[in-house]
Amino acid sequence: MGTLLEVKHLNKHFNVASGTLFAVDNVSFSIDEGNTLGIVGESGCGKSTLGRAILRLHEPTSGRVIFDGMDVTSFNDEEMRQMRRHMQIIFQDPYSSLNPRLTISQSIEEPLRVFQKYMGDRERKARVEELMELVGLSARSYNAYPHEFDGGRRQRVVIARTLAVNPKFVVCDEPVSALDVSVQAQILNLMVDLREKMGLTYIFISHDLSVVRYISDNVGVMYMGQMVEFASKKDIFDDPAHPYTHALMSAIPSIEVGRRRMILKGEIVSPINPKPGCRFSARCPFVKEVCVARDVPIEEIAPGHYCACARHKEIKGLPFVYAN
Ligand SMILES: Nc1ncnc2c1ncn2[C@@H]1O[C@H](COP(=O)(O)OP(=O)(O)OP(=O)(O)O)[C@@H](O)[C@H]1O
Ligand SMILES: [Mg+2]
């Protein structure tokens, strides 16, 4: 399996009243075809901005996005419009992603009308029916409107519309977070099935670590716009190297009695005009001079395992600061 997506030194900065906000700050990684990269990190760390910058829904400030061997950051508007057929995005809220005035079938056929203009009416109808079946929607819903559907079925419609033009790559931005817990698993299973059937490659953004653990091959941990750790799912969950990843992991709800949680002290530093040094240093129990003196680049600490911590070797195996 070859590399499908390469992100190189991607930056997305926003100019805000009090300065420059580093929403995505020098992020690099790659994804192999057919794999799923989970992206985790707390609210505001830049997960959605990263997803949008890759698709150029937010124009990157700098850096490159290489998709299927092509530098899409150099594409003009028309080239990018054509490329979107292969690079899609699913958002969290299936309520606002569907036009309430269109029937389910009209929503699903919209991308076909845009990208496959020469498709005849009968062929298009057959394709819509095929897609509805693929995502588990009954043919009886063909003329239904979104308000007649619950969140789970709406997200199925969104998925059918997303897959209508056979994309290779989908950014899934919290696709199950707005759904009832009881339907989350159904939609997740559907997304896994479709990935296998259609050979899809996903970036799967979620704040829910159990969801990420279920669906991902590799996981990237973001903190204040930066990727602080990137590794196989196994390494991230079983052998995390960055203190922030440890903190995230210890916050996973557990039925173990007396499980201890890491309490993060210190303030969250603003992503506006950040000072040099590790962004996590203000909250890190292991902070030393070396952490604040200069930026800490992400480096490969073991094959396929990347971490941005100046002290990762010294702190390996040390007990973390826990509180009950
Ligand atoms: N259009 C914008 N203009 C200015 N700042 C923005 C804009 N979009 C996002 N930001 C800022 O960029 C940072 C990253 O936001 P982003 O939405 O990517 O975070 P996130 O990790 O997706 O958070 P959440 O988990 O809440 O969805 C935040 O500080 C946010 O306020
Ligand atoms: Mg988001």
pLDDT > 50? residue 324: no
255 pairs with which residues across the strands?
A: none
Ligand with smallest separation from the Cα of 13:
1
Determine the distance separating the centroid of ligand 1 and the alpha carbon of 172, expressed in angstroms.
Answer: 16
pLDDT given at position 193: 96
Q: What is the dihedral of CA 290, 294, 295, 300, to 10 degrees?
A: -50
Residue nearest to atom 28 of ligand 1 (CA): 44
pLDDT > 80? residue 94: no
pLDDT given at position 262: 57
Token output for 177: 């977070």
Of 255 and 186, the structure prediction assigns the larger pLDDT to 186
> Residue 211: what are its φ and ψ, rounded to 5°?
-65, -45
pLDDT, averaged across the chain: 91
Atom from ligand 1 closest to the CA of residue 205: 22
Name the pTM for this structure: 0.94
* Residue 165 · residue 117 · CB < 8 Å: no
Across 115-129, 255-269, 292-306, least confident range: 255-269
pLDDT > 70? residue 253: no
Is residue 202 classed as helix, strand or coil in its secondary structure?
Answer: strand
Cα separation values, 264 from 62, 205, 226, 316, Å:
32, 23, 18, 18
Of 117 and 280, the structure prediction assigns the larger pLDDT to 280
Span 300-322, pLDDT tens digits = 999 999 999 999 999 887 776 54
pLDDT > 80? residue 268: no
From 16, 27, 48, 174, give the residue whose CB has the most ligand 1 atoms within 8 Å, as the site to mutate. Answer: 48
Residue nearest to atom 31 of ligand 1 (CA): 44
Token output for 288: 């030393």
Determine the distance separating the centroid of ligand 1 and the alpha carbon of 44, expressed in angstroms.
Answer: 5
Atom from ligand 1 closest to the CA of residue 14: 4
Span 5-55, pLDDT tens digits = 999 999 999 999 999 999 999 999 999 999 999 999 989 999 999 999 999
Atom from ligand 1 closest to the CA of residue 222: 21
pLDDT given at position 322: 47
Confidence of residue 255 (pLDDT cuts 50, 70, 90): very low
Task: For residue 67, give the nearest of 188, 203, 180, 181 by alpha carbon.
Answer: 203
Kindly give the pairing relationship between strand 201-205 and strand 36-40: parallel
